[in-house]
Chain A
Amino acid sequence: MEFFHIKRDIPFMSYGKLTTAISLATFVLAVAFLVMKGLNLGVEFTGGTVMELRYAQSVDLNQVREKVDSLKYGEAQVQSLGTTRDVMVRLPNIKTKTSAQLSNEVLNLLKADNSAVELRKVEFIGPSVGSELVTHGATAILLVCVGIIAYLAVRFEWRFAVSAVIANMHDVIIILGCFALFQWEFSLTVLAGILAVLGYSVNESVVVFDRIRENFRKPNLRGKTVPEVIDNAITATISRTIITHGSTECMVLSMLIFGGAALHGFAMALTIGIVFGIYSSVLVASPLLLMLGVTRENMIKPVRIKEEAVV
């Protein structure tokens, strides 16, 4: 069986202007959402108390919300966690009260109303830990980028490194934009997911780049222009690109559907990341490479004549 038996090369590079325009537009949109709406940072980053409750029967969220609000703890959030039985309560940090007092008070109040409630999880995180995590997360992203640039610059050439990283960051910003737009909670597992996308998406670009490098060295492609060589590389790998992404997406969707609330954010970040990973490896990284002016000579290093001193 074969889905993608493509006889002639698809002229991806001639769509360069269009695809660049599209990705630029999505990129700008994502940045706009990030600036306007901001990320709905999880408790790990902001500090505060989160309680996860499970009721024996489905429960009216408004009632729970009223109850929690009656304690006057400031901006408390009450959300459903997938089912009508699972409820999440988020409380801000209060200086005068410890988290144990806080969660006990809330639980006692809710128990008085409906005794069939089970406390599944309580998390309290101080504000200092949160801000530290933000800097650690930023450092990790930066370090990943530097590492990837360095490796690609050595194995390929600087143009490849730069376009791969730009394509990558493009994916990351778009995922963040989606999280900002829909106000999904941005937790530590989501951050892990995004960092995984960084690794995953560069993987994609590398496979295409590898083919481009190989094509430059092929004698039968010598007469072709650079865009034609890149088109050929993308077409040759398109079958693999789609099947690999399909498989990974399959795994990630399985996580999204069966993984429950705890894995939801992680799987969501990856789902978006994979879709844009295909797009960016083919339609962002390669046109960028062309724009940066890659030539055949970049990849075929001239044979250096060693000067040996004869004594």
Chain B
Amino acid sequence: MMQEPRLIEVRKNVLKQNDHIARALREQFRNAGVFVVSLVSSPGSGKTAFLEKILTILREHYRVAALVGDLATENDALRLARSHAPVRQITTGTLCHLEAAMVQRSLDEWDLNQLDFLFIENVGNLVCPSSYDLGENLRLVLLSVTEGEDKPLKYPTIFNSADVAIFTKTDLAEAVEFDASAALANIQAVRPGMDVFSISAKTGAGMPQFLEFLAARLAEMREAVAF
């Protein structure tokens, strides 16, 4: 005779495998003294242009490298290679986000001890990447001025999962009548206290402030490791 159904408690995090790898990566990055920054945004918000500019400038003073996720093409990696920083492509096929295991595999044979900054460009998508920890120290969410001020309200989860927001393509702000104070208010609504930078990769406006911020965070992390 069939027994009555019964409930047994399990309590298992569904993403435990990803979180486990992400923790190992974070530890590995910490031990190597490399500061890892990931970038998330919708497609076309200027992640690659922003990253190309950052790699080019940072390379003068720091050892930098980048991993770039893309569904199908290697175009972004080719563009970023123009910065002369080491760049690796992660082609995700049809997968809409990067996972920690992909980052781990892509790091094979890279000597992290030889790096100051590692950038990870996620697949252009404001939904799925929010669930996956990649072991990064800092997650940037980019919002181009052409996208509209209400993006944070439409995608609160990803804005909440990020540490810093960046308005990109600010050279176009006037043409598209971007209301920066409305966008800022929306960001503060979904993620109170979030740092926000305004940048134009084209003109370089706002870049020094952001680079200063990154340098300070790297120094902070190394100091913490030394103690």
Same assembly: no
Residues of A within 8 A of B (CB): none
